[in-house]
Structure 1
């Protein structure tokens, strides 16, 4: 348990940041899920639109420290390849 005033403050700050990061991660996952659903349905136009919306969301997660840059790049690359492969 936090004893000093500073450690109590840090605990409060961590709680706030955790909530913000959790919401941001959830938002990103929602965008990724929309891309996955569009790919599964076989609708190339919808999948491309969903991917275009998901990319900035993912990269924003990188700048905010929720995801690592390479992780986001890898996810985008793999999704783009799958969207491109839709006949």
Structure 2
């Protein structure tokens, strides 16, 4: 660990940010899994609701700087194809 006061503070802040981002990423992965599960079950209404929640979380992750905008757009496109494939 660092000896300088500012570096000690930065180390603590970085650990806190890392933990927060990890929990946010985990929640996002769960939202993606809900969309996939709903599409595999063939339930269009649940899939659309889960997709809307997931898209919102993806947009928020871009705003917060957790993910890149292309990552979010790619995931939303992939999930939208899945949801739209349900007949």
TM over 0.5: yes
Deviation at 1:64, TM superposition (A): 1.0
TM-score, normalized by length of structure 2? Answer: 0.95
The count of residues paired between Structure 1 and Structure 2 equals 87
2:28 maps to what in 1? Answer: 28
Deviation at 1:80, TM superposition (A): 0.4
1:40 maps to what in 2? Answer: 40
Superposition RMSD in Å:
0.8
Deviation at 1:33, TM superposition (A): 0.8
- Which 4+ runs in 1 deviate beyond 4 A? none
Deviation at 1:20, TM superposition (A): 0.6
Deviation at 1:53, TM superposition (A): 1.1
Name the SS of the counterpart of 1:56 in structure 2.
helix
TM-score, normalized by length of structure 1? Answer: 0.95
Which consecutive residues of structure 1, in runs of 5 or more, have no partner in the other structure? none
Matches of 1:16 and 1:82, distance apart in 2:
35
Deviation at 1:61, TM superposition (A): 0.7
The answer to whether the 8 Å contact 2:36/2:82 transfers is no
Name the SS of the counterpart of 1:81 in structure 2.
helix
Which consecutive residues of structure 2, in runs of 5 or more, have no partner in the other structure? none
